[in-house]
Amino acid sequence: MVYQIYPRSFQDSTGSGEGDLGGITSRLDYLWRLGIDVIWLSPVYASPMIDNGYDISNYEEINPLFGTMDDFLELLESAHRKGIKILMDLVVNHTSDKHPWFIESRSSRDNPKSDWYIWKDAYNGGPPNAMGSVFSGSAWQYDEARGQYYLHFFAIQQPDLNWDNPEVRHAVYSMMKRWFDRGVDGFRMDVINMISKFPGAVTADGGNGAPMCNGPMAHEYIREMNREVLSHYDIMTVGETPGVTTEEARKYAASDGSELNMVFQFEHMDLDNGGLGKWTPGRCRLTDLKTVLGKWQTELYGAAWNSLYWNNHDQSRVVSRFGDDSNENARVRSAKMLAACLHLMQGTPYIYQGEELGMTNAPLMSLSDCRDVEIFNAWRELVEEKKLLSPEQFMDAVRKRGRDNARTPMQWDSSVNGGFSSGTPWIGVNPNFTTINAASQADDPGSVFAFYQKLIRLRKTYPVIVHGDYEPLFESDERVFAYRRRYEGVALLVMCNFSGTPVSDPDFSGLNLSTGRLLLTNYSEREITDTKLLPWETRALLFQ
Ligand code: GLC
């Protein structure tokens, strides 16, 4: 069970308005009570914070905003004492433009690191080709000193490393070893399937460019990293791999251990995209969600390992996105249903801070409430330059899908700033902290928090949750997400109503519900019946 912490927004221990390492250490008891095994720490390295730490200027130093190396080592030690492991975020597709490697690389065309990044000449006085950046605009930035362009798949301040240069790869491997030697337990690897570029992406031919992900050498480089580093330590790895297919994932996350332990796939996160992607959000059909998640269950089974997530620091809050946050009853009910639906599948579950409380999207009224570079860049391109969206349309999309929804401070209690900070938080606290907070849930057996605790216990008790196969049920139904898993003579049936109305039309009689033992429900036992599912109901039954 992995719990993701976004350090800037978790707990401030100094009154600076910024979360920090001391704050995390002070909350380890809470995480231990929840029952998690591993913390994935979003980046805490030195960084100008253009992309909140995903722009690293020194891999060996801790960002002073978050504390010191001693604070880090104290967190690591305290976590280990509680039996909790820590994964660092490995961001090596790119560095910050303030990283000494890049400063040297850009200083001339013939310095020793001149080829550590991807530099190309202009094409007809403009960028080498038409590659676009994930954060809007061209993926090429002109640099006066070299009179050349450098490639940046993300922000201008995040130049891409040249992984085809073996010196770069070995510098990264040495850095990884130093972190393992400091005692960290693994890495979550940022956009790791972008490290190998397709030739068409990097040629100065004025062409259209090429896909960003799964380039020709991606597996080879990851296997090399595995041979040189990963295989020498008892650690865990998860690759962030946008655009990954199940076929590719069977290699990245192969059970033979030749690459990574598992990857994050994105297919279920893209189902509510419109023509302009997340900036024109639509509705996700439940049948599509079932098809995608079911496909990942069956196509990786026995060959590779899944990771399971609804939320992270790049996604809006799941209860607002696929559930119902319009009233307290529906929020609690649907948050639990979504948790059960995901956590009872096969794979390693990830909980993003606040998800275990049913935290919701933020009321981002205008750009001044936002902090995310992706939002500002997209506004400039889609609203100001191309006028494809009105300001209102854009803000509506931000409220539905903007990354800042996930980045508002953790809601600890009903005191000022939700107990996050005694200073002025770097991003506004969601005003619903007065009702949605950890203090009010931790001891309430009916809370979303208690439901997550229970899901964690169930996974550790019933091998069918870990090892069972996956059989989808009622596949064409637009409201019921149900599946059956089997392992060594035991069957687990999971039923979820993805709607706010009771459902009785799929015929549940063939499931012999009365012969199963009730493992989990988000209603009371006397409210549920064998012929229908109540609004946002979830139910798990064991047959043996
Ligand atoms: C990943 C991170 C995201 C970051 C991007 C560039 O997608 O999760 O937060 O902006 O990579 O590093």
The domain that contains 507 carries what CATH number? 2.60.40.1180
385, 255: one domain: yes
The reported pLDDT for the residue numbered 544 is 93
Whether residue 488 sits in one domain with residue 389: no
Decide if 356 is catalytic.
Answer: no
Residue 146 lies in a domain: no
Of residues 20, 71, 240, 272, which has the active-site annotation?
A: 240
Do both 28 and 93 map to the same domain? yes
Q: Look at residue 421 in the predicted model and tell me its pLDDT.
A: 98
Specify the pLDDT at position 69.
Answer: 98
Tell me, what's the pLDDT at 86?
98
Does one domain contain both 317 and 206?
A: yes
- In this structure, are 263 and 365 located in the same domain? yes
421, 455, 489 - which closes a domain:
455
Pair of tokens at residue 277: 């992607």
CA of 534 to the centre of ligand 1 (A): 38
Q: Which residues of the chain have pLDDT under 70?
A: none
Which residue CA neighbors atom 12 of ligand 1 most closely? 54
Same domain, 451 and 473: no
Residue 38's closest CA among 80, 89, 85?
A: 85
Cα–Cα distance list, 403 to 51, 89, 227, 361, 454 (Å): 11, 18, 35, 10, 29
Same domain, 239 and 362: yes
User: What is the per-residue pLDDT for 293?
Assistant: 98
Domain that holds residue 166: 2-97+161-455
Q: Please answer whether residues 155 and 135 qualify as being in contact, where contact means their C-beta atoms are separated by less than 8 angstroms.
A: yes
pLDDT tens string 363-391: 999 999 999 999 999 999 999 999 999 99
Backbone φ and ψ for 86, nearest 5 degrees, come out as -130, 125
pLDDT at position 29: 98
* Domain total in the chain: 2
In this structure, which residue's CA is closest to atom 2 in ligand 1? Answer: 190
pLDDT of 224 reads 98
Residue at 278 is within a domain: yes
**Residue 348 and residue 243 share a domain:** yes
pTM for this one?
A: 0.97
Active site residue 190: yes
Within a domain: 252: yes
Q: What's the pLDDT score for residue 400?
A: 97
Is the same domain home to 491 and 402? no
- Angle, vertex CA 50, rays to CA 45 and CA 56, nearest 5: 30
**Residue 454: predicted pLDDT:** 98
Q: How far apart are the CA of 53 and the centre of ligand 1, in A?
A: 9
Same-domain check for residues 489 and 447: no
Answer whether residue 104 is part of any domain.
Answer: no
**CA–CA separation, 260 and 241 (whole Å):** 11
Are both 333 and 235 inside the same structural domain?
yes
Q: Which of 455, 487, 508 is the last residue of a domain?
A: 455
Residue 357: CA count within 13 A, CB half-sphere: 25
Residue 151 lies in a domain: no
**pLDDT tens sequence across 475-522:** 999 999 999 999 999 999 999 999 999 999 899 999 999 999 999 999
Domain end (from 399, 423, 455): 455
- If asked whether residues 427 and 537 sit together in one domain, one would say no
Q: Which ligand 1 atom is at minimum distance from the Cα of 135?
A: 10
Question: Looking at residue 477, what is its pLDDT?
Answer: 97
CATH code where residue 371 lies: 3.20.20.80
Task: Please check whether residue 279 lies inside any domain of the structure.
Answer: yes
